[in-house]
Structure 1
Amino acid sequence: MKKIMALTVAAIMMLSLAACGSPEEVQPEEQVDYEIAMVTEAGLIMNGGYSEVAWDTISSFGEKRGVSHKYYKAAEASEDAYRQVIDNAVDGGAKLVVADGYLFSQVVYEKQKEYPDVKFVVIDAAPMDEESGEVKVAKNTVEVTFASEQAGYLAGYAAVKEGMSNLGYLGDSKVPLAMDYGYGFLQGADKAAGELGRSVNVAYHYSNSKEDSEAVRSIAKQWYEGGTEVIFACGNKVELPVIEVAEMTNKKVIGYETDKSRMSDTVVTSAVKEIGTALEGVLDQYEDDKFPGGTTIEYTIENNGVRLEMDNAKLENFSKSDYNDIVKKMKNGDISIKKYDSGDIASLGLSHVKVTEQ
Structure 2
Amino acid sequence: MILALVMALALVACGNKNTDDGKKDDDKKDTPTVITNPDEVQDEMTSSDGKYEVAFVTDVGQLKDKSFNQGTYDGVKLYAANNNLSYKYYQPANGSEVTDDDRFAAMKAAVDNGAKVVVCAGYLQEAALRMAAKQFTDVSFVFIDGYPVGEEADVKDSPALKNIAGVAFKEEQCGYLAGYAVVKEGYTKLGFTGGGGGNNPACCRYGYGFVQGADAAAKELNEKVEINYSWQYGASFSASPELQTMAAGWYQAGTEVIFACGGSMFASVAAAAGAEEGKVVGVDVDQSGESPTVITSAMKGLADSAQWALGKFYAGEFASIGGVQTSLGANENAVGLPTATWSLTKWSVDSYKVMLQDIKDGKIAIDNNYDNLASTENVTLNIVG
Q: Is the 8 A contact 1:34 1:92 kept in 2?
A: yes
**Paired letter, 1:242:** V
Distance 1:128 1:204 in 2: 30
Q: Which residue in the other structure is 1:132 paired with?
A: 154
CA RMSD of aligned residues (A): 2.1
Contact 1:106–1:127 (CA<8 Å) still a contact in 2? no
1:285-304 residue pairs with structure 2 within 5 A? 285-291=312-318, 292=320, 293-304=322-333
1:345 equivalent in structure 2 = 373
User: What do residues 180-206 of structure 1 show as CA deviations (whole Å, max 9, x unaligned)?
Assistant: 111000000000100111111111001
Separation (CA, whole Å) in 2 of partners of 1:106 and 1:98? 15
Residue 164 of structure 1 pairs with residue 164 of structure 2:
no
Could you tell me how far apart the structure 2 residues matched to 1:99 and 1:328 are?
31
For residues 331 and 305 of structure 2, the distance between their equivalents in structure 1, rounded to whole angstroms, comes to 14
Q: How much has 1:137 moved relative to structure 2?
A: 4.1
Q: Is the 8 A contact 2:243 2:269 kept in 1?
A: yes
CA contact (8 A) 1:126 1:137 kept: no
- Paired letter, 2:377: S
Query: Equivalent residue for 1:204?
Result: 229
SS at match of 1:99: strand
Shift in CA distance, 342/101, structure 1 to aligned 2, threshold 3 Å: closer
**1:10 corresponds to:** none
1:142 alignment partner in structure 2: 165
TM-score between the two structures when normalised by the length of structure 2: 0.81
The partner residue of 1:177 within 176, 195, 202 is: 202
Q: Secondary structure at the match of 1:41?
A: coil
Could you report, residue by residue, the CA deviation over 1:16-39 in whole angstroms, capped at 9, with x for unpaired residues?
A: xx73xx222xx32xx222111111
1:63 and 1:350 mapped to 2: Cα distance?
48
**SS of the residue aligned with 2:275?**
helix
Q: Which has the higher helix share?
A: 1
Q: Which amino acid aligns with 1:82?
A: R
- Distance in 1 of aligned mates of 2:59 and 2:350: 39
The CA distance in 1 between the partners of 2:159 and 2:86, in whole Å, is 29
Residue identity opposite 1:247 in structure 2: G
Instruction: Confirm or deny: 8 A CA contact 1:109 1:136 kept in the other structure.
Output: no
Q: CA deviation at 1:103?
A: 1.8
Residue 32 of structure 1 is matched in structure 2 by 50
- Residue 109 of structure 1 is matched in structure 2 by 130
Cα shift readout 1:172-225 (whole Å, capped 9, x = no counterpart): 121211111110000000001001111111110012449961110111011100
Shift of 1:55: 2.0
Please state whether the residue corresponding to 1:343 is helix, strand or coil: helix
Structure 2 unaligned spans of 5+ = 1-38
Q: Is 2:348 the counterpart of 1:319?
A: yes
3-state SS in 1 of match to 2:81: helix
Cα distance between partner residues in 1 of 2:247 and 2:203: 17
How many residues get paired?
333
Aligned position for 1:261:
288
Separation (CA, whole Å) in 2 of partners of 1:220 and 1:207: 11
CA distance in 2, matches of 1:331, 1:285: 24
- Normalising by structure 1, what TM-score? 0.87
Q: Give the Cα–Cα distance (whole angstroms) in 1 for the partners of residues 353 and 72 of structure 2.
A: 27
Quote how far apart the aligned CAs of 1:271 are.
0.5
Q: Per the alignment, in what secondary structure is the counterpart of residue 143 of structure 2?
A: strand
Conserved? CA contact 2:177–2:337, under 8 Å: yes
1:81 paired residue number: 102
| Structure-2 change in CA distance of 1:71 and 1:212 (3 Å) | closer
The C-alpha deviation readout for 1:290-334, integer Å capped at 9, x for no partner, is: 223223222101221100112213211111122122212211212
Deviations 1:36-68 (A, max 9, x none): 111113532122113223222222222222222
Residue identity over aligned pairs, in percent, reads 34
Distance 1:273 1:133, change over 3 A: farther
Whichever of the two has the greater Rg, that structure is 2
Secondary structure of 2:380 counterpart: strand
Aligned to 1:331: 360
Letter in 2 for 1:312: T
Letter in 2 for 1:163: G
Rounded Cα–Cα distance in structure 2 between residues aligned with 1:288 and 1:177: 29
Q: Secondary structure at the match of 1:110?
A: helix
Alignment match of 1:231 (pick from 258, 272, 295): 258
